[in-house]
Amino acid sequence: MPEGRRCFGDGDPLFEHYHDDEWGFPVIDERGLFERLTLEAFQSGLSWRTILARRDAFRAAFDGFAPDAVAAYGDADVARLLADAGIIRNRAKIEATISNARATMALRADGGPLETAVRSHAPAPRASPPASWADVPSTTPESVALARELKLRGFRFVGPTTLYALMQACGLVDDHLADCPARPAVQRARRAAGLV
């Protein structure tokens, strides 16, 4: 990465890798969006670093975040997940993940897959990049509308703040600060994915 101060993560190798190689880069496939939606929901009330440190355990516990596999989970799987010390053992979030997998499959069956629903609510590009974190919102009208739509379709733990964080993480918006050295690479990747 070019020289300069990152938006976040300097000095923490886990955060540095996430910032430099993932945050803001396009993720627009169903499995990728389902994984990040799940992780954002589990993060609610916790630090993002806690989630990143456990991400491999989450992937193993939730069958690589394959929605079809997670949608088939039953009571034995909930018990297994509640006993898994590698993840966050929160019954409401575990059950929401299973419900969200089922809702993801229902969206697909209705001809409007998760990626279409999320991408159709992407905010318009900003006129100029944020100069500081004070310029970065925690929600947008688009994330409010997406939350409303997904809740109507049976999704849980999908509030506007969680969904805006999903949009940031998946490159539907680019909230890297103006002087962040990762910003040019994120912009190139977003253009290549047709997000700009």
Which two structure tokens, joined as six digits, stand for 70?
């997670």
Active-site residue, 40 included: yes
Torsional sign, CA 171, 175, 181, 187: positive
Catalytic residue among 18, 23, 73, 164: 18
Q: Tokens 């279409």 appear where?
A: 116
Which two structure tokens, joined as six digits, stand for 179?
């002087």
Which two structure tokens, joined as six digits, stand for 144?
């409010």
Catalytic residue among 16, 22, 48, 95: 48
Residue type at 190 in one-letter notation: R
Active-site residue, 48 included: yes
CA distance 40 to 51: 8
* Residue 74 and residue 61 in contact, taking contact as beta carbons nearer than 8 Å: no
Catalytic residue among 30, 40, 115, 142: 40
Q: What is the CA radius of gyration of the chain?
A: 17
CA distance 48 to 109: 32
Length of the chain: 196
* Residue 125 and residue 196 in contact, taking contact as beta carbons nearer than 8 Å: yes
Active-site residue, 164 included: no
Q: Which residues are catalytic?
A: 18, 40, 48
